[in-house]
Structure 1
Amino acid sequence: MKIDRVVPNLTVHSREELDQAASQHAQILGMTVLMDHGWITTLGDDQGHQLSIMTRDATAPVNPDVSVFVDDVHAALHRAETAGITIVHPLTQEGWGVLRFFYRDSGGQVINVGMHV
């Protein structure tokens, strides 16, 4: 399994806050909007750096703190299950083209592990 990218996820309380935060980060960091689903906006630059801002995850019970995109999500899930890690969102094919699951690490952080399909 190879990690393709790691994206921090910032949580805000409303669509208005999401739009304001996206605008601020774009202005200060020079990033542009790559994706906007209404509840999550992802900003990025031409070197592949990304930052996501979300209100409430559309299909999961909790918001992830970070998203890690890999080339084999099944291998990652197997590793998590073998290690006895708590899975807080099962492996799910999402409508926006991502296969993902969430686990909670020992520090309480929620990690979204996914791959584009």
Structure 2
Amino acid sequence: MQVKRIVTNLAAADVSKVTQFYAEVLGLEVVMDQGWIVTLAAPTKMAPQISIASEGGSGTAVPELSVEVDDLDEALRRVRAFGADIEYGPTSEPWHVRRFYVRDPLGRLVNILVHE
């Protein structure tokens, strides 16, 4: 057996604001919209991963989502344009990752990162 895909499901009473956040900030595209559930995806193939952690690194809380991007400065610009507050960073970590934390409209802690 092989894992083909891992999907993160976020419970939301109103999916529109959360959909808007992930589309505008991360550039994800709506690939399915049933009204009660909206699935967003990137056009690239990715390897499924699950991380299990006791902390988020550098003494931070464990984020509920980690999203690797190719341009952290652009992601930061989009987060600020959306009006979301940065909770941590941006900073370069000793493990060769530059990142920041932001909360999505559901209050979930999202780690947005780029490998340096």
Q: Do the two structures share a fold, i.e. TM-score over 0.5?
A: yes
Change (3 A) 1:7 1:70: farther
Q: Secondary structure at the match of 2:55?
A: coil
Structure 1 gap segments, 5+ residues each: 1-5, 9-46
Query: Is the 8 Å Cα contact of residues 89 and 102 (structure 1) preserved in structure 2?
Result: yes
Map of 2:69 onto structure 1: 70
Deviations 1:14-58 (A, max 9, x none): xxxxxxxxxxxxxxxxxxxxxxxxxxxxxxxxx721110000122
Kindly report the root-mean-square deviation, in angstroms, between the aligned alpha carbons of the 2 structures.
2.1
Amino acid in the other structure paired with 2:88? H
Q: Against the structure 1 CA distance between its residues 49 and 115, is the aligned structure 2 distance closer, same or farther, given a 3 Å change threshold?
A: same
Could you say if the C-alpha distance between residues 93 and 62 of structure 1 is closer, same or farther in structure 2, counting changes exceeding 3 Å? same
Corresponding residue of 1:79 = 78
Distance 1:92 1:76 in 2: 14
CA distance in 2, matches of 1:7, 1:114: 19
CA 62–74 in structure 1, closer or farther in 2 if over 3 Å, else same: same
Q: 2:107 corresponds to which residue?
A: 108
Is there any run of 5+ residues in structure 2 with no aligned partner, and where?
1-5, 9-45
1:60–1:103 Cα change, 3 Å:
farther
**Partner Cα distance (1:89, 1:103) in 2:** 7
CA positional deviation for 1:101:
0.4
Q: In structure 2, give the amino acid aligned to 1:61.
A: T
How many residue pairs end up in the alignment? 74
Runs of 4+ with deviation above 4 angstroms:
none
Alpha-carbon deviation of 1:90?
1.5
